Structure 1
Amino acid sequence: MLLQNVRPVSKNHKGTDTVDIRIEEGVIKEIGSGLTLNKGEESHDFEGAYVSPGWMDMHIHLREPGFEHKETIKTGCAAAAFGGFTAVACMPNTKPATHTRDVVEYIIKKAESTPVDVHPIGCVTKDRAGKSIAEMGDMKDGGAVAFSDDGDPVYDSQVMRVALEYSSMLGVPIINHEEDLALSRPGHMNEGRVSTRLGLDGTPGIAEETMIARDILLAEYTGGHVHVAHISTAKGVDLVRQAKKQGVKVTTEVCPHHFDLTDEEIERQNFSTNYKMHPPLRTQADVDAMIEGLVDGTIDVICTDHAPHAIEEKEVEFIYAPNGILGLETAWSISNMRLLKTKKLNLNELVEKLCYNPRSILNLEELKIEEGAKANLTFFNTDEEWTYDVKNIRSKSKNSPYIDKKLEGRAVAIFNKGELVLNTLK
């Protein structure tokens, strides 16, 4: 296969040169300008689109096994491919929970037929109940890349301490959903001026920050690696920033909706449940802090927390709706508009957050664009205007605040597992 007129963006490329890439048997065979099409060779002209090593979303919910009415591994991977992701790491709040090796291996096996690499994240505790440590070593041997009870925090500090000690021996991170439940519930949105005006119970930022502070202290004490999931508050970012300066093994991630939208949208959108997620949308000051954290390197990764829900689950009163929104298919567009177009980050810095850092945190092989390397690639543009309407949603669910919104920049294809997937709009 010959992929023509692409502009590589990687650790060795700045997106300034236009080249052709020849792939044979899933390996990059040749890179050069004006390569000649060989007899019997398939070709595709990307008309100057950028190409980077394949992106990875290290925080999504595939829902299978147990909640296939929301999403399946097949539909979730289709959404990932449409969003430009060649790899995902899926959270363990399934049914049964991903707390044993057989569930880890089931997920990997089910994903083999998709063009996306799926890396399961195992539970920290058995059945995510927060009581006793799950079989971490066995799950890692089966393919788990990290451990988390996401959806709920590891609430017991002694359990979290033991988890960090075990995971440090295995060389993998604990990804914690940072929430002090006593402080946060029954909150339905960010606690503040807007929640007060709307009369809704709120979740204060301190509920997130106290758990981040605890986990930083535990990581420092144990020498373990804690990864702060879906960070959303300015003070939380500053806690991570200071801990990194002190040499604590802490990393973190942010979702596009948390550096794009504020809690004002809940009132503006007349209580649309597509704006209900957890952690909740915060204030403009928090949004600004997310961007600042991305710029100065405090925030390592852009992820989505892709959380599909069936239509009937979201079409209820705001306080009864489950938390979570889709994210895989719009992540690049939002990142492009809020970070690249505003000159907060350049292309290489964005690729670092979308490709290199998540793989590094999860101890996965670094991808390269060079002759002899495995062809694992994402093709994207920055200027195409398009509308994210229902007919273009590949996910099984439709719960996104960006439906019918005009977006800029799109992932146009991926190449992985020897397969080129073109993302044509319907």
Structure 2
Amino acid sequence: MNVLIKSATIVDSKSDFHNQTLDILIEKGIITQISKHIANPKKYQEVKLDNLHVSQGWFDSSVSFGEPGFEERETIANGLKTAALSGFTSVATNANTYPVIDSSADITFIKSKSKDHAISLYPIGALTKSGEGNDLAELFDMKNAGAIAFYDYQKAVSNPNLMKLALQYASNFGGLVMSFPQDSNISGSGVMNENRTSTSLGLKGNPTLAEELQVSRDLFLLEYTNGKLHIPTISTAKSVDLIRKAKQQKLDVTCSVAIHNLLFTDEKLTTFNTNFKVKPPLRTQKDIDALIEGLKDGTIDMVTSDHNPIDIENKKIEFDFAKYGTIGLESAFGALQSVFTLKKSIELLTKGKKRFGIESNGIVVGSKADLSLFDPKFSYIFSKNHIISTSKNSLFENSQLKGKSYGIIANNQLVLN
């Protein structure tokens, strides 16, 4: 693939070209020239777009595609198309399929489905067999097959000894263990944040204590084992404090937050819109403020869309029985920019790669072209027309967003909206 990008503002704080508007020549997937004006005698395809900006390719550490088993929610092919058109060049996919991705053969299957695609797909293997929390899955074999981490998606490992063994065993081969921050014995059948709002709505509450107890337990286990832990999608102020202290103790821990937990409070559930039924639940403004501060000071390492397509049959039903989850790839960039500056938004969309062992390619001559293309100024109301996913369960519908993706250049391919 040979492409000439014209008049693009480069957003890459580690590049000498940061904040400069330049042409970028890409030949056979490699950046061969960056300059104020590049001629095009070979008649390569030119990319000229309004207010075009480029950055290193974005990465999402928690994406769910239904295949295999739940293709009515999303297929891998359409999921990758959605990610690419949303500006992501790499995604880590969760194991919440049917059957659950818990063996090397499963990892090989998932990787084969993404072969030759512009997007790089990195499978996360289940931590326990069938994701049931009873016995460890084939962690080492899955690692060798290409799994980048191990996680029972949105399922807490209630047995502390099993989590201890997982951290100890995975440390032998540098495996990254992920633990969902929720004590299910405390959360019980709660469907939203336990607060004044849940009481007024008559819905069972899930207290912040459920998350904080689990985070605290896992950090104690991490300290004991000297393992390697990632805590996905924290949602409370105290969780931020606990992880901040753990990092000060030099424990090998990272964490993420779902973008929607940075924008919406539990008061959004007063309409009983099941798209706002997510896990962990939407919390309070105090929690949001702490999460944002945690991202600013580096306590929270990355953001995720926590993209989780759910078919209409499992969403358009009574709130108590609706499944948890929202799609988020299409709205991720525009939502993030409503909270942070452009520079910080791009940093948060790219810095998770290192933790998951994914190569970063800077915007420099000689580097592999792994680029996200976007317009950071474009303002719009997000609607169903902007949804590419098969499922339409977005809690960002009717929200004002700032910034849109044009597409990506990655793996020697150009994908544009």
Q: TM-score, normalised by structure 2?
A: 0.97
Tell whether 2:349 aligns with 1:351. no
Tell whether 2:327 aligns with 1:332. no
Report the RMSD for the aligned CA atoms in angstroms.
Answer: 1.2
Q: 1:217 to 1:190 in 2, by over 3 A?
A: same
- Equivalent of residue 360 in structure 1, options 348, 354, 360: 354
Which amino acid in structure 1 is aligned with residue 366 of structure 2? G
Q: Which residue of 2 aligns with 1:121?
A: 124
Which one is further off, 377-386 or 181-190? 377-386
Give the deviation of 1:8 after TM superposition. 1.3
Q: Which residue of 2 aligns with 1:40?
A: 43
Tell whether 2:370 aligns with 1:376. yes
Q: Which residue of 1 aligns with 2:8?
A: 6
Which amino acid in structure 1 is aligned with residue 88 of structure 2? F
Give the deviation of 1:113 after TM superposition. 4.1
Tell whether 2:392 aligns with 1:398. yes
CA distance in 2, matches of 1:239, 1:49: 40
- Equivalent of residue 235 in structure 1, options 210, 219, 238: 238
Q: Which residue of 1 aligns with 2:70?
A: 67
CA distance in 1, matches of 2:17, 2:46: 24
Q: Which residue of 2 aligns with 1:343?
A: none
Which amino acid in structure 2 is aligned with residue 8 of structure 1? I
Give the deviation of 1:38 after TM superposition. 2.4
How many residues matched?
Answer: 414
CA distance in 2, matches of 1:16, 1:40: 27
Which one is further off, 359-368 or 328-337? 359-368
Structure 2 portions without partners, runs of 5+: none
Deviations 1:126-184 (A, max 9, x none): 11111111111111111100001112112211110111112212213111111101100
CA distance in 2, matches of 1:284, 1:404: 20
Q: Which residue of 2 aligns with 1:284?
A: 285
Give the deviation of 1:407 after TM superposition. 1.8
CA distance in 1, matches of 2:158, 2:334: 35
Q: Superposition pairs for residues 298-313 of structure 1, below 5 Å?
A: 298-313=299-314
Q: Which residue of 2 aligns with 1:174?
A: 177
Q: Which residue of 2 aligns with 1:77?
A: 80
Q: Which residue of 2 aligns with 1:224?
A: 227
Q: Superposition pairs for residues 71-220 of structure 1, below 5 Å?
A: 71-220=74-223
Percent of counterpart pairs with the same letter?
39
Q: Which residue of 2 aligns with 1:249?
A: 252
CA distance in 1, matches of 2:196, 2:102: 40
Conserved in 2, the CA contact under 8 Å of 1:4 and 1:47?
no
Deviations 1:310-369 (A, max 9, x none): 0121000111100000011101011101112xxxxx50x3322211x2111111212211
Which one is further off, 10-19 or 137-146? 10-19
Which amino acid in structure 1 is aligned with residue 349 of structure 2? L
SS at match of 1:254: strand
CA distance in 2, matches of 1:119, 1:379: 21
Q: Which residue of 2 aligns with 1:58?
A: 61
- Equivalent of residue 385 in structure 1, options 370, 379, 388: 379
Q: TM-score, normalised by structure 1?
A: 0.95
SS at match of 2:338: helix
Give the deviation of 1:245 after TM superposition. 0.5
Conserved in 1, the CA contact under 8 Å of 2:7 and 2:48?
yes
Deviations 1:351-395 (A, max 9, x none): 22211x211111121221111111110012221022322232110
CA distance in 1, matches of 2:9, 2:250: 37
CA distance in 2, matches of 1:104, 1:416: 22
SS at match of 1:170: coil
SS at match of 1:65: coil
CA distance in 1, matches of 2:33, 2:69: 44
Which amino acid in structure 1 is aligned with residue 281 of structure 2? P
SS at match of 1:71: coil
SS at match of 2:254: strand
Q: Which runs of 4+ in 1 moved over 4 A?
A: none
Q: 1:378 to 1:293 in 2, by over 3 A?
A: same
CA distance in 2, matches of 1:122, 1:230: 17
SS at match of 2:255: strand
Conserved in 2, the CA contact under 8 Å of 1:226 and 1:250?
yes
